[in-house]
Chain A
Amino acid sequence: MINLRDKGAQFWERSNRPVRVLTVFAIVAVVAALPYAGNTFLQTPVAAFDAVLVYPMGMFILMALGLNVVVGKSGMLDLGYVAFFAVGAYTMAILGTRTGLNTWEIMPIGIAAAMFAGVLLAIPTLRLRGDYLAIVTLGFGEIVRVSALNSEAIGGALGIAGVPFPPGLGFEYQLLDQKYFYWTIVVMILLVIWVIRRLTVRRPGRAWESIRQDEDAAELMGVSTYKYKIWAFVFGAAIGGGAGVFYASRSMVIAPDNFTLNTSILILACVVFGGMGNIWGVIVGAAILGYLPDRFRFLSDARLLLFGLVLVVFMNLRPEGILPRKKREKAIVKKGSGA
């Protein structure tokens, strides 16, 4: 099978700066133009294509990028990632309906709340490994959802309605034409990519990578594994929280049902499907897995079943995902500096 990952990497390596800048611009331009592709074969039958671009696609990408830091980079299986999304969303919904704060003001608060939840979860559980960690995180995800379900103060099963849209920034966010929501999400994704790439080629990225590969050896080489595992969780939580704030502000209504274990698993599937540890793979994986169910809704109830089947077949053909983790022999440290 052709190795897209290496082809892409090779191209990048051989290109000089102007070519790279142009490539990035071209890709961003194509991505930004997607809302105008609604009348093509891409059109989704039920939901409008521009809405699908925002949710599930954009949201899935954002969350998959966050979860990838935890699962793909640091090797910790987190089955309760949706909890952070929920914390962000509820922060937005509560503050947005009860205070005068707007989405952009709530964003840092929601992110901080999710990070705090991340610390709460991480401190007692990160001494566990593998399956135990997976089970505890799964439990955490459910606890957050069930707590919301049983708290009448935040709407119980009905959730919270009337969450305000973000205030426009020289334009107005609209329900029927979601391109502004979409572009905002693209900006958020670009920002997250930029941050993750910085971390990957520097000390925290190496620490995470070493923990994933051999936690004991990492610790003995001086990596404070506990600290970096907490950071991985908290960083992933921040992204989930940010996504949640935006989601609530766009959806206007949120309820505990939006934050089930299913979502956690689906995001994990995006990471695995795309290629654990490789951000481009994860993005492609999340985009595809977010898009397909909406595109092929005519399959109705069998949708998830077929979807699962495709995944199983695919993962057998290509177990490391669409764009696997680097195989190529090139340092993740910046080229040219040093040697």
Chain B
Amino acid sequence: MAKTILNLKNLTIKFGGVTALNSVNLELKEGEILALIGPNGAGKTTVFNLITGVYKPTSGNVFLGDVAIDGKKRHHITKLGIARTFQNIRLFGDMTTLENVITGTDVRNKVGLIGSILGTPRSRREEKASIAKAHEILKFIGIDEYADRLAKNLPYGVQRRLEIARALGTEPKILLLDEPAAGFNPQEKVELAAIIKKIRDAGYTILLIEHDMSLIMGISDRVVVLDFGQKIADDLPSVVQNDPQVIAAYLGVPEDAS
């Protein structure tokens, strides 16, 4: 069994009176693609927000390896190796595609303001390396031809993929993808699935929020189902697919009737 690299323990978060997540436990194994599914408002994005430090849990912890990362600064968590995309695309629209990715790579750079002004050898070296790395990532994701286009002018599908490229720029161990296929047609979904697999095969661990069942069945190693902030299933895709509780959650059948 692969080792657990991300471990959510009894995560609870309340917004006012609403309990968005209720004592959720979740383990992410190194090198897997774990799908996180559930009906709208189940708390999936909230899980990402807790992992990346956007929210602090009301109780419970997030462990990256052995280190509790809840309570750490958001940019620090990124530096520790977790990167994400956004359900609503949040690129830097006035930057080019390439610059978006380079901004991601900057988290690994060391040069500061003074070094940049003076143009120290390190600053030039890092700058060059970042550009090369960003191009490499864009090629890997298949959007290098758009490198010099402003992000806001990109076609929708390219923007979605750029979100992934920018996250990869930070050299994460764990990649969190929040509905990366939203708004895609079947053909685009197939392509995206291939990209996600390719990313995993390159050594990343992926936590994926997705609604499209066939996409999930095709690429995920394991599926976790959330419903009203509770984890109601955690198993192989084929098992989860036939779980009556999951089906009920998706079809909106009241608990007592299922």
Contacts and interface: CB of A to CB of B under 8 A. Distances in A.
Interface string B115-142: 0110100010011101110110000000
Interface stretch (B25-33, B88-96, B190-198, B201-209): B88-96
A337 B131 contact: yes
Nearest to B93: A213
A220 B49 CA distance: 10
Interface in B164-182: 166-167, 169-170
A188 B162 CA distance: 40
Nearest to A337: B128
Interface in B88-110: 90-96, 98-99, 102-104, 106-107, 109
A199 B127 CA distance: 12
A231 B115 CA distance: 13
Interface in A216-251: 216-225, 231, 235
A222 B78 contact: yes
A221 B83 contact: yes
Contact of A333 (B91, B98, B109, B169): B98
Interface residues of B, number: 49
A192 to B, nearest CB: 11
Centre residue among A195, A221, A225, A325 by max chain B CB count within 10 A? A221
Contacts of B169: 221
Nearest to B127: A202
A220 B131 contact: no
Interface stretch (B143-151, B213-221, B235-243): B143-151
A329 B150 contact: yes
A338 interface: yes
- A interface, how many residues as a size bin? 35 or more
B101 to A, nearest CB: 10
Contacts of A210: 92, 95, 103
B88 to A, nearest CB: 10
Contact of B149 (A195, A222, A329, A337): A329
B56 interface: no
B131 A199 contact: no
Contacts of A213: 92-95
Centre residue among B54, B111, B127 by max chain A CB count within 10 A? B127
A100 to B, nearest CB: 30
Nearest to A222: B107
Given A207-B103, A339-B135, A202 B93 contact: no
B57 to A, nearest CB: 17
A206 interface: yes
Contacts of B149: 329
A206 B128 contact: no
B95 A206 contact: yes
Given A198-B116, A203-B111, A326-B94, A333 B74 contact: no
A207 B134 CA distance: 16
Contacts of A218: 92, 103
Contacts of B106: 203, 206-207, 222-223
B160 interface: no
B113 interface: yes
B132 to A, nearest CB: 5
B96 A330 contact: yes
B95 A221 contact: no
B86 interface: yes
Contacts of A293: none
Given A219-B74, A220-B52, A235 B83 contact: no
Interface string B65-98: 0000000011100110001101000111111101
B153 interface: yes
B111 A199 contact: no
A209 interface: yes
Contact of B170 (A195, A204, A222, A332): A222
A272 to B, nearest CB: 17
B96 A329 contact: yes
B132 A338 contact: yes
B51 to A, nearest CB: 11
Nearest to B108: A222
Interface in A251-278: none
Contacts of B148: 329-331
8 contacts: A198-B116, A210-B103, A217-B90, A222-B75, A223-B103, A329-B148, A332-B99, A333-B102
Interface of A: 195, 198-199, 202-204, 206-207, 209-210, 213-214, 216-225, 231, 235, 325-327, 329-334, 337-339
Interface of B: 52, 54, 73-75, 78-79, 83-84, 86, 90-96, 98-99, 102-104, 106-107, 109, 111-113, 116-117, 119, 123, 126-128, 130-132, 134-135, 147-150, 153, 166-167, 169-170
Closest 9 CB pairs of A and B: A222-B107, A338-B131, A222-B78, A202-B116, A217-B90, A213-B92, A219-B74, A206-B103, A338-B132
